[in-house]
Amino acid sequence: MKIVVAGLGYVGLPLAVLLAQNNEVKIVDIIEEKVNLLNEHKSPIMDTEISLYLTKENLQLTATTDAKAAFKDAEYIIIATPTNYDPKLNCFDTSSIEAVIEIANQVNQSAIIVIKSTVPIGHTENIQKRFCSTNIIFSPEFLQEGQALHDNLYPNRIIIGRLGGNMHLCKAAEMFADLLKEGAIRKDVPVLFMETAEAEAVKLFANTYLALRVSYFNEIDTFAESQGLNAKNIIDGICLDLRISQQYNNPSFGYGGYCLPKDTKQLLANYQQIPQTLIQAIVESNRIRKEFVANQILKKGGYFDINITKDSDDIPKNSCIVGIYRLTMKTNSDNIRQSSILGVMKRIKERGVTVIVYEPLLNEDEFWGSRIYNDLDSFKRESDVIVANRFSKELDDVKEKVYTRDLYRRD
């Protein structure tokens, strides 16, 4: 089977590696540096398991920047391009998806197009009408940062949305599911076929539920810290209930990363005239959590002794230096985009406080106007308060300076 994956990122690359075990797979990307790395059997993203798989001789995987040539004889074209949330449009920016479909229609109208990028509910059906095409299906991905290939090899479900009345497309959807199962190590994977809008809804509602859990335990932590209570004792007592369990219960500075912030906002936008309060509350809770955390950090640094709001003009100033330890969203991740600590950092800087950063992934001298330290010891000495969304043993010697809500020392 000849397969092309458009997008050499956290969705496209692990999927391509999975499929390249048994098929001829090409990845298309506009960034030549990433393409060259992959062709040298090096991973352009941080995932140890992917790096190991890329060294396997039987992996039929190459990369190119020439989309037209790659698409020409493909049987499946899988779109895994970014769809960032555009606050002005109040919707995902799906232009990268349309660009891929445009090229595919020019050179290969018989290929089955599989959208893996996250889209608004109803988008696939709209795209089918816009391009007068009935060969487009939607299959959401469910990946965790830092273990994307593992989640492809051991999927907890495969969901494919297609036009139920189109027998050709139903057969193509079943064949695609078989391709995913063939590459997976787990063989008893539940597979669900449904309409495209239903599959799109599964993705957004699943991630919004995860955001809800993060927000719920963060609000428990906010209450406990405000009242001088032990948040871990409370959470432990709650999560021993088997109906609740231990997942997504470690407090943080808020949910962030590639998916949860944009997916919750997109789902909220999809409601429009539909009655709701919960989805709005999840988005708002995440904002309030970051403001609370920023205030607590400044209190720890002796910056002020009063509760402040975004409209406060009479905030006392001092020489407190706040050090941000790592900008990444999770441990063993290279994702900085939409990291929750960025929202906290922004709020601290708005107070006029000096902020410095320790982030070994960055080669720049500054980030958002804050000096980047490459030497951890110097960073520790200069910081009056060290902010860590996730604690590290590297901070053991200065733990009295550290502000974190990482109660369980895990993501």
Could you list the active site residues? Answer: 259
Inter-axis angle of helices 340-350 and 278-300, to 10 degrees? 60
Q: Are 259 and 333 in contact (CB under 8 A)?
A: no
- Measured in degrees and rounded to the nearest 5, phi and psi for residue 26 equal -120, 140
d(CA 10, CA 149): 9
Q: Give the residue carrying structure tokens 């906010």.
A: 222
Give CA angle at 257 (355, 159), nearest 5°.
180
Q: Which amino acid is at 392?
A: S
Question: For residue 161, what are the β-bridge partners?
Answer: 138, 194
d(CA 270, CA 286): 19
The helix (H) or strand (E) run that includes residue 290 is helix 278-300
Going from the C-alpha of 310 to that of each of 288, 291, 294, 313, the distances in angstroms are: 11, 9, 11, 9
Tokens of 346: 């922004």
Q: Determine whether 188 is exposed, middle or buried from the number of CB atoms within 10 Å of its CB (0-12, 13-18, 19+).
A: exposed
Q: How many CB atoms lie within 10 A of CB 332?
A: 13
Strand segments (E) across 32-126: 61-64, 76-79, 85-86, 91-92, 112-115
